[in-house]
Amino acid sequence: MKKLLLTSIVSISIINCFAKNTITVVHDTLRITSDAKELELYKMLYQNAKDNSSVNYTMLYTIIAIVVAFILFIVGSQVFFNYRLNKRDLDNLRSELMLQLTTEISTLKSSQQSLEIKLINDINEKISNTNNKIESVETRLSKSVNLLHSAVHELRAESYKSLGWTQLSIANRLWQCRYDLKENMDQQLKLTLESIMELLSSVDEIYDISVNAFNEINGGIREKYADKFVDLLDKIKLSIESKKIIKLQ
């Protein structure tokens, strides 16, 4: 009985020890198995993560490529559009500049022509005014000269008359008539003709220069004054024809 009990106790002890060892081995086995599975799981997760990462990188690169291509397309389109637009704007600007330049040139030519015409007109006007002034001066000068000649011949005629040189007095009176006629001095011309008639009545001879001078003024007076001095001219003509002509040459 004691042996059986001891044997039982030993057996139970052995069984307990074996069981403990078995449990430990099983536990270790399970732990090892669990660690192996966890490692395998980590490996699978890593591989999956690696595969997913590769796929993600591929997708990312693809998306980046698409985005870059889209940006390049937008930029290229914008550049092309701007080029087209700028070219059109440049053509329009060139056309506007050419039109403006043509207009300015036309305006400049018109202004130049107007200026030339105005300048020519001004020059012609000044020339005309100058010519008018010159003519006026010439007229006044000619009038002054004629009046001076008339006065000189009148003075000489009176001087020769006072000296008794009637023939020379007659000649100077006739020359005086030439200048009185030029200046339309009707009253003076009448007085001069009357003075000539008076001098002729006091002589029997006349110089040929006096005859020539009378023939010169006779036609001019008759043409200019018609019948105004006809009586005086006829009397002088008859008186001269009745005189003896003395040639001085």
Domain assignment present for residue 128? The answer is no
Give domain status of residue 69, yes or no.
no
Is 124 among the domain residues?
Answer: no
According to the 3-state scheme, what is the secondary structure of the chain?
A: CHHHHHHHHHHHHHHHHHHHHHHHHHHHHHHHHHHHHHHHHHHHHHHHHHHHHHHHHHHHHHHHHHHHHHHHHHHHHHHHHHHHHHHHHHHHHHHHHHHHHHHHHHHHHHHHHHHHHHHHHHHHHHHHHHHHHHHHHHHHHHHHHHHHHHHHHHHHHHHHHHHCCHHHHHHHHHHHHHHHHHCCCHHHHHHHHHHHHHHHCCCCEEEHHHHHHHHHHHHHHHHHHCCCCHHHHHHHHHHHHCCEEECCC
Domain containing 159 equals 144-246
pTM check: above 0.75: no
- Whether residue 62 is contained in a domain is answered as no
User: Is there a domain that residue 11 lies in?
Assistant: no
- Domain-located, residue 138: no
Say if 204 falls within a structural domain. yes
Q: Is residue 82 part of a domain?
A: no
Q: How many domains does the chain have?
A: 1
What is the chain's pLDDT, residue by residue, as a tens digit (249 residues)? 544 444 445 444 544 544 455 445 444 444 545 555 656 665 665 566 556 556 555 765 677 777 667 677 676 666 665 656 566 777 787 787 788 778 878 877 788 788 888 888 888 888 888 888 888 888 888 888 888 988 999 999 999 999 999 999 999 999 999 898 888 888 888 899 999 999 998 999 899 999 999 998 888 888 888 778 888 888 999 999 888 988 886
